[in-house]
Every structure is written in C-alpha cells, then in structure tokens.
Amino acid sequence: MQFRGAVQLDLPLARASIDRDYLARTRPELFDELWSEPATRVLPMFQGAVLLDAQSLRLLPVDSVPSAQYRVYLGRDEIGPVVLAVLSENAANQLEPDSNNWHHLRKTGAGLSDRDAGLFTQGLAIANWHSTHQHCPRCGTPTLIESGGWVRRCFKDDTEHYPRTDPAVIVAVIDEQDRILLGSQGVWEENRWSILAGFVEPGESLEAAVSREMFEEAGVTVTETSYLGSQAWPFPYSLMLGFAARVHGSSTTPDGDEIEKLRWFTREEIAAEAHELLLPNRVSISRSIIELWYGSEIVSASEAE
C-alpha cells in the first residue's frame, strides 16, 4: 500500500548508534571493569527523566554520580562504555536539585541525536521494567539484578526473568476515498485525535491483531494491511508496530469504552483545521504515520501547547 507524497516515515525513538555489547553482560566483574575504565560514562536517571546539556544527554564520569539504586550496562559508543544509573530522590537532588533541569523523553526525544535518542529510549524501557518487576512472578520472592542489569534472578526457585516488551499495533485506517480514520478517547481534551492502536494478544499474528483491533474499536472490516515500521514506546515498555489498513465503506462504530469519537479526515480538512487539531506528539509513531499519509509535515495545535 503506497501513500501519496515523498515523505518517509520518521521514527524518533527507532534511532540508535550504540553497540549494546550483549556478550559482556554475563561477565561477573563487569561493573568493576567498567568503573576502572577511564572512558566509562554514566547516564543518571530519576523518575524517568535525565539531564541535558543543550540538546545532548549529560553523560557524567563515574565519580561524579551519587550512589545509584541500581545500574544497567547500556553498551558502547565510539568513545567508550555507557552505564545507566537509576537514582533515589536524595541522590537526584544531590546531583541536580532543580526539577526543571530533569527532562522527559516525550518532550525531548525528537530533538536528540541518534545516539542519545537510542540511549534514552533503551534506558527508560529497562528502568520501567525494573520498577514493576521486583518480585518473582512464581513465588513472590524479591529478585536480584544480574547480567549487567538485564536479568532478575529469584534465588528461591532459581529462575531468571528477562525484560518485558509488549507488542502493539498502531494503524492508519484508509478508506476508498483515501481518507484517514482518527479516533478520540473520552478522557482526552476536545479536538485531540490519533490513529487507532491495540495490544497484540497471545497466539495472535500482527495482521490478525490489526483486523481484530480495528473491528473492536471502530467497527470497520480490514481488507488489506501493509507494514510501515516500528519503534519502541517505553511508557512503560511497548513496541509499536505501524500498519496501514484498507477498508471498504465508511461506516464506523466507536467502541464507547476506549474510543468515544471517530472521524474520517481528508488531507484538505487536515490542512484547513490544523491550527485547531491536537495531533500526537512528534516523538510518537502515530504522528509520523499521519504525516506519511498526509504527504508532508503538519503544524498542528499540539505544537502550540
């Protein structure tokens, strides 16, 4: 399925230029080795936020960062190793007391370099997993961190638990008139719109998930699907898989639970109403897919927020 225009899918959180150095994670003395290597730098994180210098991550020498709640080895760039340090409130205040200087991925991700966007996305995803998976799902025993921060082990039943990634499909539904279907959730402010999405269920293909979710949320029957691209969405630890889906007819029925309103948009309507429309943030794959269909960048009311 081809969209009109020459715009390519721009995925800010799909960028990366770091070697994750997977094999090094299992070395028992990994952090001792990293801490003795002069080129090692630390990415401090507090409540999902990091420090920036202009538009770059502030990566600090190992002796400049207070004691961390835990550390995760993220990998190596052309300079050397990078380690995530998740800080307590006291440690974060010691490092940078001004909360305005701690920045979140949703606001800053699109403006970062490939390396920094990849590091921030990777670090946030693994930190969110650790924060919600501190006990063994089998027996409830607190788990301990191993393998450079990439495994949690239960020493009661000797099981290993690995970072979780939840796949979700996000879909540009297109009708026979080449209009795009946007939905609005009941909890959103007036005139906020996005394409439709949903999680992939166990034992389900991506294409089946597209058809099921679009029927459940909008009452439309998908006749054709095309894969567009993917990017991580570490809120808390999803992988968004972008699709375009063709449907026959224009009848829609919002599910009334998650989706309250549905509307078909032409490109002309998007252009005429852009100053009033609250479209998804530029860091999201949904915004990229909408602009891919549209054929160029859209300046919407979201950019004025």
Looking only at the bridges linking them, the beta strands covering 41-45 and 81-86 are parallel
- Please tell me the distance from the alpha carbon of residue 219 to that of residue 213, in angstroms, as a whole number: 9
pLDDT score recorded for residue 10: 87
Q: Which residues of the chain have pLDDT under 70?
A: 1-8, 305
The encoded tokens of residue 248 equal 């026959």
pLDDT at 6: 45
Per-residue pLDDT at 117: 98
Distance CA 102, CA 85 (A): 14
pLDDT, tens digit, 9 for 90 and up, residues 41-63:
999 999 999 999 999 999 999 99
Delimiting residues of CATH 3.90.79.10 domain(s) in the chain: 165-304
Closest to 168 measured CA to CA, from 195, 121, 201:
201
Contact 217, 247 (CB under 8 A): no
Give the pair of three-digit tokens for residue 254: 């919002």
pLDDT confidence of residue 5: 53
- In tens, the pLDDT along 251-261 reads 999 999 999 99
DSSP state, residue 135:
B
Q: Which residues contact 82 (CB under 8 A, 6 or more apart)?
A: 18, 40, 41, 42, 43, 59, 74, 75, 76, 119
pLDDT at position 303, please? Answer: 85
One-letter identity of residue 101:
N
CA distance 270 to 273: 5
Q: What's the first-to-final CA gap in the chain, in angstroms?
A: 34
d(CA 246, CA 263): 15
Helix (H) or strand (E) holding 32: helix 30-36
- Overall pTM > 0.85: yes
Give 106-134 pLDDT, tens digit per residue. Answer: 999 999 999 999 999 999 999 999 999 99
CA distance 3 to 173: 12
Of 173, 284, 283, give the one whose Cα is nearest residue 224: 173
The whole-number pLDDT of residue 27 equals 95
Calpha distance 186→268 (Å, rounded): 26
In the block, residue with structure tokens 């909360």 = 99
Measure the CA–CA gap between 170 and 158, rounded to whole angstroms. Answer: 37
> Is it true that domain 14-132 has CATH number 3.90.79?
yes
Q: Residue 186 and residue 173: Cα distance in Å, rounded? A: 20
Contact between residue 206 and residue 95 where contact means Cβ atoms under 8 Å apart: no
Fold classification of 165-304 (topology level): Nucleoside Triphosphate Pyrophosphohydrolase (3.90.79)
